[in-house]
Structure 1
Amino acid sequence: MTDDPFLLFGTREVEQPPVRLTAGRLSADLLDGNLRTIRYDGVEVLRALAYLVRDRDWGTYSPTITDLSIDQRADAFDVRYTAQCKGAGSETLRIAVHIEGRGDGLVYRAEAVSPEGFETNRCGFCVLHPILGLAGAPVTVEHVDGQVVGTHFPDVIEPWQPFKNMRAITHRPLPGVAAECRLEGDVFEMEDQRNWSDASYKTYVRPLALPWPYRIPAGSPQRQSVSLRISDSRTASTEAAAPGDSADPVTLAWGEAEGILPAIGLVMAPEEVRASLDAAEHLAALKPQELIVSFDPGAGHGVEALRDFASLAALHKGRTLLEIALPCLSTPEAETRAIAAQMAEAGFRPDAILISPSVDRQSTPPGSAWPACPPLDEVYAAAHAAFAGIRIGGGMLSYFTELNRKRVPAENLAFISHCTCPIVHAADDLSVMQTLEALPFITRSVRAIYGDKPYRIGPSTIPMRQNPYGSRTMPNPGLKRMAMADRDPRHTGRFAAAFALAYLQSVLEAGLECLTLSALTGPFGVIAGRDEPAAEGTLRPLGETVAQLCHHAGKPWRACISSDPTRLRAFAVETADGWQVLLANLTAGRLDVSPEALAPDMRKLNLAPYEVAAVTLR
């Protein structure tokens, strides 16, 4: 298997490696002017410390960096640079940055000024705390009025900001070690980024209750700083761990969890149904258990779309679910009856319907007014009446964030559903893979709210299908790694295949009834187009993984514990030939795997970058 970037990522553009900065026991990775993976004694203290500028659609600017200087000494580092963002028209924002690191912490200062004035939704520091090891852990928060409160990081995902009006936050990454993060220059608050499947708690500048977008006044400097201070009460003889990332082999062992694999679905938009009909041979070969078809009268979908769905359903041997984005321009009763009449005219009767008001696809951030919408009880009652004999489900056509903030009355629903997207806030390879850490917290939070109600996830793809946080998804004709992008090059490469297998592994314990990770055709599909790593008309690497998951759906699974789940994910499936272990290398390098604990005579494995492999234990 090749390490060609095009085959791995669907693009020949390779991410630049970070610059490793060290100061005694402290280390940090400098990338694009910001700090990632800030460690003390080899343990991650902060996931990231960044100065970010957002546009009016919450897109993140990629500033031009000049005058970069890095002074790395034996026990300290010093970084300076200038960054410039170009906004609408002739607006520019110039940011002068200075980062100082010592063995007991660091200080990151920034001053932003715009000659013309600058429109933004947010401009300033963002501090990310990792979630693993910190969820539910004690933390101390100092507020801007000087009040100090002992509390905990949220365990079940908090829909709104857990901490507001922050001046400092202190946690313990190691026994005997305290890490204080002090925030100056504005008012900060924290949100639980696990809502969006980010693997972090995010402390950010400017409360969301304030108006946005807003303007930075012309010629008015905006100064902020973040300082990290490490207090280590351990004995001086404690050995410092070498900063860096482990290259040791990953070991696998049996876990205690077990269950039944969910059904696997494919999503179809009306615009893709004709192409899907032309790819009927692939549909027949994949044998997905579910087809999810999307119907939005507000987008002009009508009886013709339903006729196309009926043609597609006739070719499909499994179940069909209709997603309805209800316009809510008249009463729910009138709109659902009209759709039911169109379904009858088209000869289309799905096995299940997921219905949600169209406006609920858009986010309602803290401090915003909820949009006008009929009570959900009325929507669901109208659906039961209009679509008699069909399973009716609810939840959100968008993401867990919206489901967590607007919790639906589920008593009379057959199932709950939501989606996820890994590029809402960041789109680099590391951030996308790190979203896998948040998925078990999402499923556990859904179970905490809705109990054992049947539960579905998807369609969840790397590229963004819809943007609840702005007016549109971001066009990406150059196929860059871009947050909120409508296309993503990695969807066509081996990266997506590894991500999909690891996604399923991350949600196994939730006992899903269905998981949907792709479409059949188009930019979210499993079939390759022109100029892709796979030959046109064949399955993308993601398609090969989806085919494998479709084949195993409904079979018993058993947990496999990876010694380093940031590099390797695995689980076992019971087949007629014995237990088959499915593995995914989540890294861009080759990976040695020691699976002897699963079977004494099992040989060591060497997985290629982002390889998905299957090994049968005999």
Structure 2
Amino acid sequence: MQVLRAGLLSAHLIGGGLREIAFDGIEVLRAIAFVVRDRDWGTYSPAIADLTIKQGEGETTVSYRAVCEGPDANTLSIRAVITLSSKGSLTFKAQAETPTGFENNRCGFCVLHPIVGVAGAPVTVEHVDGSIQYAVFPDRIEPWQPFQEIRALTHSVMPGIDAECRMEGDMFEMEDQRNWSDASYKTYVRPLALPWPYQIATGETVSQAVTLTVTDRRAGRPQAGSHDARPVHLTWGEDLRPLPQIGLVVTPEEAGAVRSALASHGAFGAKGLLLHFDPAAGHGPSDIEAFAALAALFSGTITLEIALPCKGPLAGELGAIAKLVADAGLRLDAVMVSPAVDRQSTPPGSQWPDCPPLEEVYAAARAAFPGIRLGGGMLSYFTEINRKRVPAGPLDFVSHATNPIVHAADDLSVMQTLEALPFIWTSLRAIYGQKPYRVGPSTLAMRQNPYGSRTMDNPNGERTAMANRDPRHNGLFGAAFAAGSAAAFVGAGLEQLTLSALTGPFGLFAGPQEPVPEGMVRPIGRCIELLACMAGWQARAVKSGSSRDILAFGASCDDGRRALVLVNVTRSPLEVDLQALGIGSGASIVLLDETTMIAAASNGLEARSMSEQPFALMPYAVARIVWEVA
């Protein structure tokens, strides 16, 4: 990463794109990048060559070239020039050419506006025909594009500072990336209603430019952009609904390992198992029998998640699964049923796939599994349940998953997705009211790709979008992300939050053929223990002022115990001031950080007396403080 500056304008240059574009320390845009994506919506990460950075009088200029290597030895060459001016303007120009022809789903600029402080705020949209639209950035998450045929977007960054973002070279449109838990509104090319994948012809040049112009109308010398004071001061917020039980997902491929793990390690305090069953993937009687064997070792709730083929009579398909369950003696508390076809996204302009009416699917499921709770929704992400609203009347609960690496997989982008989770649950509550609600699996790695034919293999353990394995799951980052997810969903009133598996690449401890020692408890395992023991406790919001570096929530138990959970979602140490919370004397703390991680893997988390105020929270650390109220 390199920091670029010109006057009050700054940006971080990362991998050929710009991040954290700010004026006087205030974030204006989250990112500008020239993006090339393959037929499965995987993002190319070309190496940067011939990088030149020139700092002149009042101006900084960057130039580079990059080459995308596609299938069948096809290549795409990109030349880019970035200019920052002390007068408050930034221009990013790119030209892409191919000597071979190049298939892609997207080739062009993506511009990200942040969501915090922007959602619900006014925006002026200039369209390609010159017309002007006065609108607002959506507050509730829009299922479809809020704005199309865009030439420029202008919004107020803060009182006295306006920013115009002008995009040229193609027809741009915006999508609400909070659908995928990205913390941004994305303006991109080309329109999704056009066919994809598409071919860039041999010798064709794709030329585009993005120009940001900041107008500063503040009187006098402005104060420096606000940076959160240190330490971070925490205060109590409103009382919330009880904390959810923590769940673990189990696939047929891991059922045998999970049974052994339950016998030797237990469930790390998790109170629910989510058993995945997909007949179209070859799952059958032996898998249900394996589920029954492991369920016999588990005292919590059991939910069977069914990806229903919907290729024949619904009563026949669901009846056959119900018979397998009965024959195996599999104890079930709930079934979650979704047509298998709904796992795939239906983008704007695409034809909806054939699928029986969901009312008929749910009626058949109720008949096949009488007397147990019935869930519906999507096995994929909020995007799909937002675009295809399921009929909630026949259901006992609604559910969807989340994943933070759909579009980007760098550390900053992943942790920023936590900003979007409150928008997701408030948007879902706006649709479904107080219907019981579950979320998960919500893991760093992607278990399925609704936008292509496959998830991406990641044998080298890189930060890769849509990857089916993620190296950060093995470390503190994975634990911090899980705890941050729990904090972000604390106001949602979830009944279950599934954050991991027990074994395998999504697991709480490492099995064979994993990149860490077999049997080692990952930090996320200790984090799940920390969270799971508070299921049913009354939650309470915790405020951290303008800081987004600390996520926190409180909880109280009927026996007089109180708890505070803190997570540092940054790579920097932070000081936290708890004095306004009135934590009682005799408080104890369990801390999962770089100093305790190794011991915790073998011996668990140890409580110690809480004394220092304020105290330091190390990068990606998770802490739980417990005290008693007389």
One fold, TM greater than 0.5?
yes
Contact 2:231 2:614 in 1 (8 A): no
Q: Report what 2:593 is aligned to.
A: none
> Is the counterpart of residue 263 in structure 1 residue 216 in structure 2?
no
What is the SS of the residue equivalent to 1:523? coil
What letter corresponds to residue 145 of structure 2 in structure 1?
Q
Does residue 329 (structure 1) correspond to residue 341 (structure 2)? The answer is: no
Q: Which residue of 1 aligns with 2:625?
A: 615
Segments of structure 1 that go 5 or more residues without pairing to the other structure are: 1-17
Q: Spell out, residue by residue over 1:163-198, the C-alpha distance to the aligned partner (whole angstroms, 9 max, x if none).
A: 000011111011122111111000000000000000
> Aligned to 1:427, what secondary structure does the other structure show?
coil
Is residue 2:398 matched to residue 1:388? Answer: no
Residue 175 of structure 1 aligns with which residue? 159
Relative to structure 1, the CA distance from residue 421 to residue 109 in structure 2 (aligned partners, 3 Å threshold; closer, same or farther) is: same
Residue 283 of structure 1 contacts residue 520 of structure 1 at CA under 8 Å; is this kept in 2? no
Residues 294-328 of structure 1: per-residue CA shift (max 9 Å, x gap) = 11111111111111111111111111000000001
Structure 1 counterpart of 2:324: 342
Q: Could you say what the CA RMSD is over the residues aligned between the two structures, in angstroms?
A: 1.6
Which residues in structure 2 correspond to 1:20-35 (within 5 Å)? 20-35=3-18
Per the alignment, residue 203 of structure 2 pairs with: 219
Q: Distance in 1 between matches of 2:256 and 2:225?
A: 58
Per-residue Cα deviation, 1:26-79 (whole angstroms, up to 9, x for no partner): 111111111001111211110000000001110000112111111124632111
C-alpha distance in 2 between matches for 1:429 and 1:329: 41
Percent identity (aligned): 57
2:486 equivalent to 1:504 = yes
The TM-score with structure 1 as length reference comes to 0.94
Alpha-carbon spacing, 1:582–1:21, altered in 2? closer, same or farther (3 Å): same
- The 1:566/1:535 distance shift into structure 2, 3 A limit, reads farther
- Is the Cα–Cα contact under 8 Å of residues 336 and 383 in structure 1 kept in the other structure? yes
User: d(CA) in 2 for partners of 1:348 and 1:578?
Assistant: 36
Q: Greater RCO between the two (CA within 8 Å, min separation 6)?
A: 1
Q: 1:238 aligns with which of 204, 222, 227?
A: 222
1:598 aligned partner: 581
Residue 144 (structure 2) pairs with residue 134 (structure 1): no
Q: 2:375 & 2:457 partners in 1: Cα distance?
A: 32
Question: What is the one-letter code of the residue matched to 2:169?
Answer: G
Residues 1:95 and 2:78 are matched in the alignment: yes
Q: Distance in 2 between matches of 1:524 and 1:504?
A: 17
Offset at residue 533 of structure 1 (A) = 8.6
Q: Is 1:59 aligned with 2:69?
A: no
Aligned residues of 1:421 and 1:461 also touching (Cα < 8 A): yes
Tell me by how many angstroms 1:537 deviates: 1.2
Matches within 5 A, 1:404-415: 404-415=386-397
Aligned to 2:31: 48
Shift of 1:586: 1.2
Spell out the pairing of 1:122-161 with structure 2 (5 A cutoff): 122-161=106-145
Give, in angstroms, the shift of residue 350 of structure 1: 0.8
* Residue number in structure 1 paired with 2:90: 106
Q: Do the aligned partners of 1:25 and 1:240 also contact (CA within 8 Å) in 2?
A: no
- After superposing the two structures, state which structure 1 stretch, 523-532 or 318-327, moved more: 523-532
Letter in 1 for 2:116: L
Corresponding position of 2:531: 549
- The Cα offsets for residues 559-601 of structure 1, whole Å up to 9 and x where unpaired, read as 2212354321111222446322111111222221111111378
Name which of 103, 106, 119 aligns with 1:119: 103
Give distance in 2, aligned partners of 1:396 and 1:228: 38
Cα distance, 1:338 vs structure 2: 1.2
Q: 1:28 to 1:289 in 2, by over 3 A?
A: same
User: Partner residue of 1:165?
Assistant: 149
> Is this contact kept in 1: 2:295–2:331, CA < 8 A?
no
* Pair 1:468 & 2:478 matched: no
1:186 counterpart (152, 170, 178):
170
Rounded to whole Å, the distance in 2 between the matches of 1:336 and 1:283 is 34
Rounded to whole Å, the distance in 2 between the matches of 1:520 and 1:295 is 17
Query: Quick check: 2:165–2:213 contact (8 Å CA) kept in 1?
Result: yes
* Cα distance between partner residues in 1 of 2:547 and 2:437: 25
1:266 to partner: Cα distance: 0.7
Is the Cα contact below 8 Å between 1:356 and 1:394 reproduced in 2?
yes
Q: Which residue of 1 aligns with 2:592?
A: none
1:284 and 2:266 correspond:
yes
Structure-1 residue corresponding to 2:598:
none
Is contact 1:265-1:516 (8 Å) kept? yes
Say if 1:430 and 1:247 are closer, same or farther in 2 by CA, change over 3 A. Answer: farther
> CA contact under 8 A between 1:251 and 1:562: conserved in structure 2?
yes
* Deviation string, structure 1 residues 259-312 (Cα, Å, up to 9, x no partner): 311011111001101001111245535232111101111111111111111111
Aligned to 2:600: none
Describe how 1:449-460 pairs up with structure 2 within 5 A: 449-460=431-442
SS class of match (2:413): helix
Decide whether the 8 Å contact of 1:139 with 1:170 is kept in 2: yes
**Helix, strand or coil for the counterpart of 2:50?**
strand
Which amino acid in 2 is paired with 1:614? R
Give the equivalent residue in structure 1 for 2:351. Answer: 369
User: Does residue 561 in structure 1 map to residue 534 in structure 2?
Assistant: no
* Preserved CA contact (<8 Å) 2:491 2:541: no
CA contact (8 A) 2:235 2:544 kept: yes
Change (3 A) 1:285 1:182: closer
Contact conserved, 1:492 with 1:532, CA < 8 A, in 2? no
C-alpha contact 1:557 1:573 (8 A) present in aligned 2: yes
Alpha carbons 1:250, 1:564 under 8 Å: kept: no
- The separation in 1 between residues aligned to 2:241 and 2:154, in whole angstroms, is 39
User: 1:9 corresponds to which residue?
Assistant: none
Residue 612 of structure 1: how far off its partner (Å)? 1.0
Other-structure match for 1:15: none
How far did residue 535 of structure 1 move? Answer: 4.8
Q: Number of residues paired by the alignment?
A: 599
What does 1:519-534 correspond to in 2, within 5 Å? 519-529=501-511
How far apart, in 2, do the equivalents of 1:504 and 1:143 lie?
A: 40
How has the CA–CA distance of structure 1 residues 20 and 192 changed in structure 2, closer, same or farther, with 3 Å as cutoff?
same
Q: Name the CA shift for 1:247/1:28 in 2 (closer, same or farther; >3 Å).
A: farther
Q: 2:405 aligns with which of 423, 434, 440?
A: 423
Letter paired with 2:418: L
Match of 1:12 in 2: none
Most deviating of 181-190 and 87-96:
87-96
1:133–1:246 CA distance, 2 compared to 1 (3 A): closer
Aligned to 2:602: none
**How many angstroms apart in 2 are the aligned matches of 1:293 and 1:87?**
37
> Is 1:207–2:217 an aligned residue pair?
no
